[in-house]
A and B are shown apart, each in its own frame.
Chain A
Amino acid sequence: MKLIQTALAGTLESSDAQVTVENAENGIEISIESNVINQYGRQIKETVLETLDRLGVENARVKVVDKGALDCTLRARVECAVFRACGVDKDYPWGGAIR
């Protein structure tokens, strides 16, 4: 998927994560801020990259401000930000690229 605009999803509430995505030229650039970075930073990064890969996003600058979100929440926020950035708002591929 190609990002056509900058988009944000999620909140800064506890157990949530705020994800911002914007288009970039050379691959995936990712920055993560988290209060559990020591124990879960690696897993957060893996989840974000995996989600982007599944959505077919090849170029993006991604910023994650994590407040202790579970993997399922991280996926939901990344997907929501990406679909918003691509201007898609219906007929989502549930169970396909969204898994």
Chain B
Amino acid sequence: MTQIQRLKRLRRSMLFLSAQRPALIKDAYIFKPDSLLLDLEDAVAENQKDAARFSLYHALKTVDYRGVERVVRINGLDTPHWQEDIRVAVAGGADMIRISKCETADDVRTVVRHIEMAEEEFKSEPGYTLVMAALESPLGVLNAYEICIACPERMVGVAISGGDFRKSMQTKYYPGGLEMLGGRATMLLAARAAGVQCFDTVFTNLDDIEGFRAEVEQNKQMGFDGKSLISPRQIAIVHEVFAPTEKEIAEAEKIVRVWRENSAKGIGVFSVDGKMIDIAFIPGAERVIMMAKASGLYKGDL
């Protein structure tokens, strides 16, 4: 994959796992999430941060995750842990680092600087380690655009973290998500303006399957790329909801095909089924095809 492809890859589902729990990290790829979030932060007790790093390192080095992206969530920049976390993630060859409690573009730059140092120390490919930022406070959300553009060559996107965000907004979870509307919308605007991806927060009540599905449907409507998940049981629902319809796939396929034929002939604007199509439609159509492939709904040659 090229760096652009790596930055833009499909990330509908990001499954959190404690890096300290061998039973979880040894083969969570069987549930086929798009990304695994190997957590060194909240899922790991303060006195087990070191143990989690050792098991993370060997899991990254030994386990064949079968194409599932491996993201490491590091501890916050206000803790004594994050520097060692970055070292182990880079040394292990993690695909991405998720910065928790990110509030400013400077936070991103600080982390990136340490990633660069680690890439040099461990002789890794410079620039390999991507980053994403978790926004957990109103300040982080208000700075979202700056954060999104802080490091274009590594920045995948931003995720909102509902637990802390709701607390600082003096609210809690409500079905329907009105309490998160401002945060989600602001972050989405920033991410789209910066051309990066955008992910929604976890849904913690595992027994409320209908509530979860409703939230995922809302995520899709709002334009999120994906969602952080706390249980493998949530993956199938996200993939199902995000899957394009047969009609959407057929339309996208047609647009891409006609576009390729026409652009080879030097035609930039044309019509498909009575709809005017130009280059602006192409990324969207291509994303539909990518999504359809990942959902097992498209077996064509595009």
Contacts and interface: CB of A to CB of B under 8 A. Distances in A.
Report A-B touching, CB under 8 Å.
yes
Interface of A: 9-10, 13-16, 69-73, 75-77, 79-80, 83-84, 89-92, 94-95, 98-99
Interface in B49-93: 50-51, 53-55, 57-59, 61-63, 83-84, 87-88, 91-92
Of residues B57, B61, B92, which shows the largest number of chain A Cβ atoms within 10 Å of its Cβ? B57
Nearest to B55: A76
A13 B23 contact: yes
B21 interface: yes
A76 B51 contact: yes
Contact of B22 (A15, A84, A99): A15
Nearest to A14: B23
Given A15-B23, A16-B23, A76-B54, A94 B122 contact: yes
A72 B84 CA distance: 20
Contact of A72 (B53, B61, B83, B122): B61
A99 B58 CA distance: 7
B26 interface: yes
Interface of B: 21-23, 26, 50-51, 53-55, 57-59, 61-63, 83-84, 87-88, 91-92, 122
Given A76-B58, A92-B53, A70 B88 contact: no
Which of B21, B22, B61, B62 has the most chain A CB within a 10 Å cutoff? B22
Contacts of A99: 61
B122 A95 contact: yes
A59 B57 CA distance: 25
30 contacts: A9-B51, A10-B51, A13-B21, A14-B23, A15-B22, A15-B26, A16-B21, A16-B23, A70-B22, A70-B26, A72-B26, A72-B55, A72-B59, A72-B61, A72-B63, A73-B58, A75-B54, A76-B51, A76-B55, A76-B57, A80-B51, A83-B50, A89-B50, A91-B87, A92-B53, A92-B84, A94-B92, A95-B91, A98-B57, A99-B61
Contacts of A79: 54
